[in-house]
Structures are given as structure tokens and as C-alpha cells.
Amino acid sequence: MPYTPTDYAPYDFANRRHIGPSEAEMAEMLATLGVSSLDELIAQAVPQGIRQAEPLDFGPAKSEQRALATMRDVSKKNQVLVSMLGQGYHGTVTPPVIQRNIFENPAWYTAYTPYQPEISQGRLEALLNFQTMVADLTALDVANASLLDEATAAAEAMALAQRSSKSKSTTFFVDHHCHAQVIDVVKTRAEPLGWTIQVGNPFTDLNAQEVFGALFQYPGTYGDCHDFTDVITALHEAKALAVMSADLMALTMLKAPGEMGADIAIGNTQRFGVPLGAGGPHAAYMACTDKLKRSLPGRLVGVSIDSHGHRAYRLTLQTREQHIRREKATSNVCTAQALLAVMASMYAVFHGPEGLRAIAQKIHLKATDLAAGLEDAGYTIDQDSFFDTFTVEVGHMQGLIIRAALAEGINLRAVGADHIGITLDEKITRANIEAVWRAFGIARTATYAAPYRLPEALIRTSDYLTHPVFHMNRAEAEMTRYIRRLADRDLALDRAMIPLGSCTMKLNATAEMMPVTWPEFSDIHPFAPMDQQQGYAELVADLSAKLCDVTGYDAISMQPNSGAQGEYAGLLSIRRYHIANGDAGRDICLIPTSAHGTNPASAQMVGYKVVPVAVAENGDIDLEDFRAKAEKYSDTLAACMITYPSTHGVFEETVREVCDITHEFGGQVYIDGANMNAMVGIARPGDVGGDVSHLNLHKTFCIPHGGGGPGMGPIGVKAHLEPHLPGHVAQGTSGAVSAAPWGSPSLLPISWGYILMMGGEGLTQATKVAILNANYIAKRLEGAYDILYSNKNGRIAHECIVDTRPLKDSAHVSVDDVAKRLIDSGFHAPTMSWPVAGTLMVEPTESEPKAELDRFIAAMLSIRAEARDIEEGRLDPENNPLRNAPHTMEDLVSDWDRPYSRQQGCFPPGAFRVDKYWAPVNRVDNVYGDRNVVCSCPPMEDYQEAAE
Ligand SMILES: *Cc1c(COP(=O)(O)O)cnc(C)c1O
């Protein structure tokens, strides 16, 4: 074996934890492939010319205990103070039943985006609860299943307003009382599209005739609660749209955006039980009126029926999304914040409307009490009315008071030179309030007895969360079981391999996950002073240095919250670079037709024109076509976007030429890093010619997918692009792409822990085994299926495209039939119909042991055999196990009148006898769901039926 275990035991543990096949299994697999060593296989799969010169060396791998101890030490360098900083981030109590059973539960966090609805009914229900909760609280018709953060949601709302408004204006108005980071991100996003941002006072500066839309913060960043009804009416008269960024907690007591006439509402749901995490991950929301729903960005869960007419959930209106519409999509959002949306929805289920209102009332009473104490002592509060935030005039005492509060362990917000902002939340105690008074020189006892200070006209009178799901018996026994019931409906990595090509569903090791919920990482406000975030600073610096080593880039920005956001940030830095060089006219982006949908969607967002490049017969980029187009657009070429290894799962020999041609004609090379799992330790995008790449930390670097997010998409850049990376208002710079300076930093301990516990050698070994596992599957499927693309040695990289199209002609078996039949065997289908329609793309990752690969192979071979039975007349062409898949428990116990046995239908090869996974619904009807769009919780009788 090429990999020699050292006598240093922890290194060996590292590999046994993360790498699936044992040494003996690897030897068998290599024999199947007809090679004598892993290195021989790698030499056949990876072109010599792109191999990296030096092996990765991060010192010896750490054991789990040592890595956790290191992490503990670093976490202690963060100082957790009580935050009263506000600005869209609030202290919150994560109900322990949610923390342990969702946030810390692999059944929830290792799930994939619910593209295969039959195995996703649990998380789809939880996300439908989220949508219902948001639609109710905002009093709008439809809400999506989450966006990345409040600031990008505001930018998405601006784009939605622009698409939908009949106004000819190119100006978008932004309330000066929006949070600073929201204003900055909106500016970033408007600039490349040629839209002007006017920041001002909505009541004095807004001329509705001159804008296509306007954004208001409610309550404002300083706490003011304004009624925007008249302003919104004026906007509508001018055919402009109104967007409100609203705090859901405040909406339990205040008149809702929909009730003021707003067309769109957005905001952060963090304070519904999701820890601060120094900025994320949190779920942002977006809700809109019914007539805008077909332009809504992000994922939308809808209600449909299955083949037996039973209710079933699914993603709806997918034709809006990047994976179908590409550069014409409503946004580039792919990974969003599903797990955090699930948590926020469960917080609402847990507390119900009365509980939420009680929490909000208590927060408000803390605020009024604190304000009254300050006023009694002679201070002036700037707001007549407020919910949880106000500002106090303090003159030259600002620094003194803030320092006194710090000494009490409390962060207050400096507003201007002579005001202080104070925001209260669920976690603030009487002792905290008394400490703030002391900082102001006041000795007083908190009573929470001061009167409400909400504007009379804005008191909420309408109902919300009336659906029975928000009125369950709230005994923890019930809550635990509800969460468990939903989790059991889903197939996540804790039960089976999820061989999704391009998505890299690898192990999310428990030891990597543990630090995420440590208070030192999770209870910090993103704008807390930097000297309180030294642990994060150290982690980010070390992780960045290691990622630079891995990628061959010079600098990393941690800001992007997903791969697609990374693409956007990377293209933006390319754009800024061209402009700085006097090349503002460069706006052509070459993208192969095999690219992921986010690539063209992101290019469009920086104002680039997408020019598709053909793919040759063998799956490689058509070099001639590439050169011809680069030459044709030599004056205007801005960039190319390529994926390496290609989305066809092959290391193309010509990658350097593609990069050289792009550079020759003045363009920059964006290498989509989603396939880094085939490269780490073996080749570096920065060496093969890339100027910038994103890394999907939620693919290659072990952050779990969470059922559709969270994610992290940091970008690596060459030195010449470094000055053009995103800035952030909290660091005194601008041009941000996310609300928080480090995106979602509380996820970073996962990737850092992975690297520490693997070491350079372990990471390289992981890459090699990922390639081994994929080649093993490809080899074993030979004869049954064609593998669409391989290199000249017949080898693939870490994934392969399995051609199921011939079955369509020979047996009327569609790729859907194959995918759904895999469910009967207890598998999540591979990536379907991308990048080639009608095929499956299989990526096993290094984490899967041989037995699991063999189980999958057995399932795939059995499907081929069933298709052959159809071809040869042994199975009915219509009424067969493939067409009827997935089979449910109900099928099994109902009158069985099928021309094949129960055994064959329900227990195909791969299915476990005892631990059989049963899909809770039969095949979901997509067409019905798109014709009858229902995006909130259906009536309770249906739940009853499902529970029976
Ligand atoms: C996953 C993926 C993306 C998008 O990443 P998100 O984090 O989902 O936004 C982009 N390109 C490729 C090739 C991918 O596989």
C-alpha cells in the first residue's frame, strides 16, 4: 500500500474516522481496477502536468482529543459578553429540545436539499412550517424556504422589485435607518447592474416617481417604529414596489408589512432560537404578495399529491431557479439556510403564538424599563416609541459609558459621536439592565413595570400562527416526538450513502461538529469589538493560510455564505480589477454549456454577458470553440468560468490551455472549486491557471449540508485580485457581499477541525480514496451501464456520469424511475439530469466503506436487471417495480394486485431487512404541484391522516 501508517497512532485514527474503506478493502478494490497501488490509479486518473509540486504539509494530524483541546484553547480567546448591539442580531434562547434534536442531530444536519421529495417529507414539512410562519407574521401571501442573510435578502428584494415594477426608473431608495451592512450589500449588488441607490429619509427624501422600489427597515436600526402606509401608497401610485425589512419578533406586537401594503418583506429569523455565531449561519426570509410569487428568488416548498393522491410536499416552481433558468434565473441562490430555517420554525412551533408574543412583550418591557430609568435620571431617549431598541443622547460621555458597560460585561453600541444605542433581547436579565444603569451612573432596581411605548396606530390586531401545528401540546415529550417523526421520514447521511455528484456528501465527523455549539463560538455578536473575537481571528487566519496552501492562492475572503455567493464575490473582484485597470468595457464571460447553473446566474449578477462555449464529444471543453470565442471578444473578454475537474468528472488535459487562452485575450480565470474534493493535496487551481476560485466548505471541507444549507463559499484569489476582495462596514470598508464580515464563522471550526485531524497527508489520502471509490463504482457498473466520460486511460476523477438514457428506449424506464427505485433499496438518488439530461452523476466520496459501495452497486445492477426483464417481456412494461417506485409500507399491506411479488417490489437488493427505509409517500406529482401552488400548511385533517 502506498499509504504507510506511521507509528504515530493518531494519524491512523484520523484516516479510520474519515476514510471509508479499510486497507484490506482498498487492496480488493484496486485489484478490481487492475492496478497494484493507489498511486498507480492516481497516475492514470490525474494528468502529470497538473500535479502539485510539493505535498501538503500541515504537520502531524491531531487526534480528536488533541484537536478538540486546540479548538477549546482558541475558543477561549473569544470573550462572550452580553450583547446590546442590535443591528439585526439578537441574543436568543435555543430551546434545548431543538438544540439537541435538530442542531446537533445528524438526521437533520446531514440531509441534502430536498430535490428528491419522497425521501424529504420531514424537512419539507418543517420548511413549510417556516414559510407559513413567515407569511403569517408578515401578513403576506407567500414566503420562500430561506435566503442567506438579511442583507443579501434585501438585495434580492431589490432585484425582485426591479424585475416586477413597471416603473422606468433605475433608482432604488433605501431608508437611512436600514442597518449599515444592509445598505452596503444593497449598494454592492446595485452597482454592476447600473442601478442607483438613494439613501435617505423615506418621509422627506423619497420621491416615488423617481424610483422603481424602496426598502424600509422596521423597526429602524435606531429603534424607531414608523407607519409606512402612506409612503407605500405613493410608491404604488408611481408603479414602484415597497420592500420592508422587518423583525419577526417585533411583528408579534406590531402591525405587519402586508397590512401597510408592502409588496415584499425580508429579514433575519436568527432571534427565533438560532445562536448569534458571530454572524451566522442564520436563515433570512423573504415573503411577497401572490402576484410576485413566480419571480421569488430561492427555494419554495409547495404542497402536491403523490401517485395515490395523498398529500405530499415538494419544491415548487423550480423553473425560477438557476439550475433550470441559468442566467435568466430569478437569482443565483442554490444552497440557502435550510437547517436554520427548520430551527426557527421549530422555535415557533415550540412557543406558539402566545409564547412568541409573551417573549416579545417581555423584551419590550425590558426596553421600556431601561429607558424609563435613563429618562428619570435626566437622559433623553431619541425615539418617542420603540420596540426593543432606542438611542440615548450622551454628549461627550459616550466613550466613558461604553467602557463602564464593558467593565460590567456588556457591549453597547456607539451611535454617531454622542449617542448610545441599546437593544434588548430574550436573554437580557434584570441584573444586566441594572448594570447598564450603573454604567450610566444610575443606581436603580429593574421592575419591568414601565408602560408600553409602541405607537398606538401600529399595535398589531391581526392573528398569526393560527394553524394547529403551532398549537400542539407543548410537553417536551410531544415536541421530541414531532421532531423525531419528521426526521424519520427523511433519508440523510446517518442512514445511507448519498452519492450526489458535485455535492460531495462526505462524512461530517461528530468531533468536527461539537465546537459549533460551544458558547465561545456561538454567542458572539458579529460586530462585537475585535478584541473580543481574537479566537475567531486566530481560527480564520490559520484556516485561511491552510486553504491558501491547498489551493495555491494568495488570499482568502471568508465572506461568501455559499458557493454561488463565492462565484458572485469572485466575479465582482474580477470586475473591480478590470475597472481599476481602465478596462471597464470588459463584460463577456465564457462559460461551457456543462457548467453548474449558478455560474451563468452569478455572471449575470455582475452585469456580464454570458457566452456559452461548446463541449466536445469527449466531454472536454471544445478548445477550438473556446479559442474562437475568446478571440472574437478579445476587446471585451472579462472572464471565463470553468470547473475543475470538469462537471463531467474528468481531469481535462487541456485546462492549462484554456487558462492561457483566457489570459492571452485579457480575461481572468474563475475556477469553480466545487470539485476540490478531487484535488486537495494533488493539484491546485491556483497552479493550473486560476485567478480566483470558491471553495464549498460544505462539500470538500465537511460542513454538513443541513437539508439545503448552511454553507460557506470562501474565495481564494491571486495577489492581484486581493485589493478587490469584499470589505465590510464593521471593518471600516465597503463592498460587502454578506451581512457579516466572515459570513457564517460559527461553521468554520468544522472545516478547521477536519484539516487539523487529517493533516496534509490525511487530506491527500482522502482525495485519492475519493478517486478510488468513484473508479471502483464505475468499473463495477461496466457492462450494465455506460459511463459517459473518462480520460484517455479510461479513468474518471471523483465522480462519474452513469448513462441511463438507453433504458428509456429499450424499456421505457426513465431516469426518474431509476432514481425512485433506488429509494426502495434505501438510497438517495445520485444527481439527476445534470450536467447531462437523462443521466445520473455518482459521487461516492472517500467516506464510504466498501460494503456501502457494494450495496449501491447491487441496487444499480438489480435496476438494470429489472429493465432487462421489461425489455425481454418478463415484467409488464407499465405495471412494474421501476415505474411504481418508491413502494410504501401502505403498498405492502394493501391488497397486492401487482404482476410482481411484494418481496421484489419492497425489498430489492440493497434494502435492509430489519432497518428498511420506507418512503412515507409514493411518487410525487410535480405537474400537479406546479399547477396548484400552495406554499403554506394545509388544513389539519391532513396531518391527522398522516399521523394515523
Ligand atoms: C454546489 C455547486 C455550486 C454552488 O454551490 P452552493 O454552495 O450550492 O451555492 C457551484 N458549482 C458547482 C459545480 C457545484 O457543484
Who contacts 156 (Cβ-Cβ below 8 Å, separation ≥6)?
147, 266, 286, 297, 298, 331, 333
Q: State the angle between helix axes of 430-439 and 398-407 in degrees (0 to 180), rounded to the nearest 10.
A: 140
pLDDT at 2: 52
d(CA 188, CA 627): 32
Closest by alpha carbon to 154, among 199, 205, 123?
199
Instruction: Name the residue with the closest Cα to ligand 1, atom 4.
Output: 563
pLDDT at 465: 98
d(CA 121, CA 123): 6
pLDDT at 878: 97
d(CA 248, CA 225): 14
Closest ligand 1 atom to residue 335 Cα is 8
How many angstroms is it from 399 CA to the middle of ligand 1? 45
pLDDT band with cut points at 50, 70 and 90 for residue 948: very low
Q: Are 816 and 736 in contact (CB under 8 A)?
A: no
d(CA 430, CA 448): 8
d(CA 804, CA 784): 10
Closest ligand 1 atom to residue 647 Cα is 13
How many angstroms is it from 674 CA to the middle of ligand 1? 6
How many angstroms is it from 596 CA to the middle of ligand 1? 7
* Residue 327 scores a pLDDT above 90: no
How many angstroms is it from 816 CA to the middle of ligand 1? 22
Q: pLDDT: is 940 or 197 the higher one?
A: 197
pLDDT band with cut points at 50, 70 and 90 for residue 25: very high
* Mean per-residue pLDDT, 925-939: 88
Mean predicted lDDT score pLDDT of the chain: 96
Closest ligand 1 atom to residue 333 Cα is 9
Q: Are 263 and 276 in contact (CB under 8 A)?
A: no
pLDDT at 11: 46
Q: Count CB neighbours of 628 within 10 A.
A: 14
SS3 content of the chain, % helix, strand, coil (to 5): 45, 15, 40
Burial class (CB in 10 A: 0-12, 13-18, 19+), 291: exposed
pLDDT band with cut points at 50, 70 and 90 for residue 325: confident
Closest by alpha carbon to 475, among 599, 568, 369, 349?
349
* Residue 6 scores a pLDDT above 60: no
d(CA 415, CA 401): 13
d(CA 774, CA 777): 5
Q: Is the omega angle on the peptide bond into residue 645 within 30 degrees of 0, that is, cis?
A: yes
Q: How far apart are the first and last CA of the chain?
A: 54
Q: Count CB neighbours of 140 within 10 A.
A: 25
Taking the whole predicted model, whether its pTM rises above 0.85 is answered as: yes
Q: How far is CA 780 from CA 333, 773, 802, 852, 869, in A?
A: 36, 11, 12, 13, 20
Q: Is the CB of 335 under 6 A from ligand 1?
A: yes
Q: How far is CA 226 from CA 41, 450, 455, 457, in A?
A: 66, 21, 8, 10
* Residue 876 scores a pLDDT above 60: yes
Q: Are 841 and 830 in contact (CB under 8 A)?
A: yes
d(CA 344, CA 94): 9
Q: Is the CB of 711 under 6 A from ligand 1?
A: yes
How many angstroms is it from 832 CA to the middle of ligand 1? 15
Instruction: Name the residue with the closest Cα to ligand 1, atom 5.
Output: 563
Q: Which helix (H) or strand (E) holds 163?
A: helix 150-164
pLDDT at 9: 45
Closest by alpha carbon to 344, among 554, 556, 488, 146?
146
The alpha-carbon radius of gyration of the chain (Å, integer) is 28
d(CA 904, CA 881): 8
* Mean per-residue pLDDT, 748-756: 97
Closest ligand 1 atom to residue 713 Cα is 7
Closest ligand 1 atom to residue 699 Cα is 1
Q: How far is CA 391 from CA 189, 383, 415, in A?
A: 30, 7, 8
Which pLDDT tens digit goes with each residue over 610-651? 999 999 998 899 999 999 999 999 999 999 999 999 999 999
Best mutation site among 605, 696, 701, 842 for ligand 1 pocket (most ligand atoms within 8 Å of CB): 696
In 3-state terms, what secondary structure has residue 556?
strand
Instruction: Name the residue with the closest Cα to ligand 1, atom 6.
Output: 563
pLDDT at 293: 95
In 3-state terms, what secondary structure has residue 694?
strand
* Residue 15 scores a pLDDT above 90: no
Domains and CATH numbers, the chain: 77-298+333-494 (3.40.640.10), 515-753 (3.40.640.10), 759-912 (3.90.1150.10)
Q: Is the CB of 696 under 6 A from ligand 1?
A: yes
The residues facing 314 across adjacent strands are: 302
Cell of 13: 485514527
pLDDT at 4: 54
* Residue 52 scores a pLDDT above 80: yes
Closest ligand 1 atom to residue 643 Cα is 13
In 3-state terms, what secondary structure has residue 643?
strand
Q: How far is CA 13 from CA 72, 363, 758, 851, in A?
A: 20, 48, 9, 20
pLDDT at 260: 98
Q: Which helix (H) or strand (E) holds 367?
A: helix 338-376
* Biggest distance spanned by C-alpha atoms of the chain: 91
Which pLDDT tens digit goes with each residue over 110-145? 999 999 999 999 999 999 999 999 999 999 999 999
d(CA 654, CA 674): 19
Q: Are 785 and 864 in contact (CB under 8 A)?
A: yes
pLDDT at 942: 57
Q: Is the CB of 831 under 6 A from ligand 1?
A: no
Which pLDDT tens digit goes with each residue over 304-320? 999 999 999 999 988 88
Instruction: Name the residue with the closest Cα to ligand 1, atom 14.
Output: 674
Which pLDDT tens digit goes with each residue over 659-708? 999 999 999 999 999 999 999 999 999 999 999 999 999 999 999 999 99
How many angstroms is it from 523 CA to the middle of ligand 1? 29
Q: Are 126 and 346 in contact (CB under 8 A)?
A: yes
How many angstroms is it from 564 CA to the middle of ligand 1? 6
pLDDT band with cut points at 50, 70 and 90 for residue 740: very high
pLDDT band with cut points at 50, 70 and 90 for residue 230: very high
Closest by alpha carbon to 123, among 351, 337, 318?
337
How many angstroms is it from 751 CA to the middle of ligand 1? 17
* Residue 8 scores a pLDDT above 90: no
Q: How far is CA 300 from CA 112, 243, 907, 924, in A?
A: 15, 19, 33, 16
* Residue 1 scores a pLDDT above 80: no
> In the 8-state DSSP scheme, what is residue 291?
G
Q: Is the CB of 647 under 6 A from ligand 1?
A: yes
d(CA 651, CA 645): 5
Closest ligand 1 atom to residue 595 Cα is 13
> Cα 946 to the chain's mean position, in Å?
29
Q: Are 33 and 862 in contact (CB under 8 A)?
A: no
Q: Is the CB of 676 under 6 A from ligand 1?
A: no
Only one residue has cell 418583506, namely 265
How many angstroms is it from 562 CA to the middle of ligand 1? 8
How many angstroms is it from 597 CA to the middle of ligand 1? 8
Q: Which helix (H) or strand (E) holds 216?
A: strand 213-218
pLDDT > 70: what percent of the chain?
A: 97
Only one residue has cell 448591539, namely 85
How many angstroms is it from 334 CA to the middle of ligand 1? 7
Q: State the angle between helix axes of 121-138 and 476-489 in degrees (0 to 180), rounded to the nearest 10.
A: 120
Q: Are 706 and 111 in contact (CB under 8 A)?
A: yes
Q: Which helix (H) or strand (E) holds 43?
A: helix 38-45
pLDDT at 940: 64
Beta strand extents in 365-431 (DSSP E only): 380-381, 389-393, 410-411, 413-415, 419-423
d(CA 646, CA 603): 19
Q: Is the CB of 672 under 6 A from ligand 1?
A: yes
Instruction: Name the residue with the closest Cα to ligand 1, atom 7.
Output: 563
d(CA 539, CA 333): 27
pLDDT at 10: 46
Q: Is the CB of 613 under 6 A from ligand 1?
A: no
